[in-house]
Amino acid sequence: MLHTAVTDPAAARDSAAKDPAAGAPGAPAESATLISYEGVGKTFETLQGDVVAVRDITLDVREGEFVTLVGPSGCGKSTLLNMAAGLFEPSAGLVRYRGELVAPYNQRVGYMTQNDHLLPWRDVLGNVIVPLEIRRVPKAQAHERVAALLEKVGLKGFERAYPSQLSGGMRKRCALARLLAYDPEALLMDEPFGALDAQLRLKMQIEIRRLTKALGKTAVFVTHDLDEAVALADRCVVFTHRPGTIARVVEVPLPPDRDLLGLRHNAIYRDLTAELWDLLSPDMDRLDD
Ligand SMILES: Nc1ncnc2c1ncn2[C@@H]1O[C@H](COP(=O)(O)OP(=O)(O)OP(=O)(O)O)[C@@H](O)[C@H]1O
Ligand SMILES: [Mg+2]
């Protein structure tokens, strides 16, 4: 096991089952609650005064679920991920991970942002192996694991390429392999494909959905893109303009092994994206004031 197991998973599942906040729709009933926000608010004190980023957020993310967060700029989506990662404490309410309060830093989650933060002086292998070096995994074992990960993300054969020699999509795959090298239980992803062109983006969406499901990872994925929010999600959480509150939690009843290429022709997908559009369009012409 490469990740740091803090709690016995069975005990954690029991404690999560007793958690009164458990029971949100959208995941198999037997799944444990992994991340729970219980009446969460976050206010930042700035020189210009207090900024209320989010208010009254109550949300459970269950083990194995793919949850997308969508909402206007500044409504607190990144702030919610940061609190789950233990980078910020909430100003009100509680954020739990497997029933325990999230402490700085939550090592059981992996975080992927829009910027891939690859080390330019290291090749692909050298980048992906970093988490294993930090954990002092024996070299042969680490190399074996990196080789398996590179195969999974479709970068086999590019071990010796440097980030400057990679396409945008390959850089994302490399960052994804490095994230998976930590073997986190949950992947927190903040607009990870925002900078990619439409075709590459679709390719990465297919990969991320396939990999998270195949590896049994839980995913919380922030996006501005309504199509992406529906295409990837088991559940999609729609936020209001700042201070962000939950406007709607939308179940996405598309099959787990959905064909992302063919979704455009799927009536459920079309109806849901239209519903989200109607929900969010009143906020479209508001500035992030
Ligand atoms: N460290 C911080 N200090 C002060 N204010 C902050 C901090 N982090 C976020 N904020 C403020 O909190 C609000 C929510 O920010 P956040 O980055 O979470 O929004 P977001 O929904 O992720 O926006 P975007 O879609 O543009 O990425 C914003 O008004 C932002 O200015
Ligand atoms: Mg953000």
Residue-wise pLDDT tens digits, 106-132? 889 999 888 888 999 999 999 999 999
- Among protein residues, the one with the nearest Cα to ligand 1's atom 3 is 44
Phi, psi of 50 (to 5 degrees): -75, 140
In a domain, 161, yes or no: yes
- Among protein residues, the one with the nearest Cα to ligand 1's atom 25 is 73
**Where in the sequence is the domain holding 124, given as residue range(s)?**
117-183
Atom of ligand 1 nearest to the CA of 75: 21
Atom of ligand 1 nearest to the CA of 76: 18
Provide the residue-wise pLDDT of the chain in tens; the chain has 289 residues: 333 333 333 333 333 333 333 333 344 556 799 999 999 999 999 998 999 999 999 999 999 999 999 999 999 999 999 999 999 999 999 999 999 999 888 889 999 888 888 999 999 999 999 999 988 999 999 999 999 999 988 899 999 999 999 988 899 899 999 999 989 999 999 999 887 888 888 988 999 999 999 999 999 999 989 999 999 999 999 999 989 999 999 999 999 889 999 998 999 999 999 999 998 887 665 655 5
| Crossing angle of helices 198-215 and 168-181, rounded to 10° | 20
Three-state DSSP state, 209: helix
In a domain, 139, yes or no: yes
- Among protein residues, the one with the nearest Cα to ligand 1's atom 12 is 53
Output the pLDDT for position 283: 66
Residue 57, beta-bridge partner list: 40
Residue 221: how many CB atoms within 10 A of its CB? 28
Phi, psi of 56 (to 5 degrees): 50, 45
In a domain, 26, yes or no: no
**Angle (nearest 5°) at CA 234 between 204 and 76:** 80
What is the distance in A from the centroid of ligand 1 to the CA of 112? 17
In a domain, 49, yes or no: no
In a domain, 266, yes or no: no
What is the distance in A from the centroid of ligand 2 to the CA of 222? 8
What is the distance in A from the centroid of ligand 2 to the CA of 173? 21
Token pair 């992994």 in the structure block, residue: 34
Would you say the C-alpha torsion 213, 86, 71, 194 has a positive or negative sign? negative
Q: Which of 68, 75, 113, 241 maximizes ligand 1 atoms within 8 Å of its Cβ, making it the mutation to test the pocket?
A: 75
Output the pLDDT for position 22: 39
Ligand 2 (single-atom ion) residues, CB below 5 Å: 78
Output the pLDDT for position 199: 86
Max Cα distance, the chain (Å): 56
**Number of folded domains that form the chain:** 1
Output the pLDDT for position 115: 85
Residue 68, beta-bridge partner list: 221, 236
What is the distance in A from the centroid of ligand 1 to the CA of 77? 8
What is the distance in A from the centroid of ligand 1 to the CA of 53? 6
Ligand nearest to the CA of 77: 1
In a domain, 149, yes or no: yes
| Site residues for ligand 1, CB cut-off 6 Å | 44, 46, 51, 53, 73-79, 242
What is the distance in A from the centroid of ligand 2 to the CA of 201? 18
* pTM, two decimal places: 0.86
**Angle (nearest 5°) at CA 59 between 205 and 202:** 5
How many Å apart are CA 82 and CA 168, to the nearest integer?
Answer: 25
In a domain, 102, yes or no: no
In a domain, 176, yes or no: yes
Atom of ligand 1 nearest to the CA of 46: 4
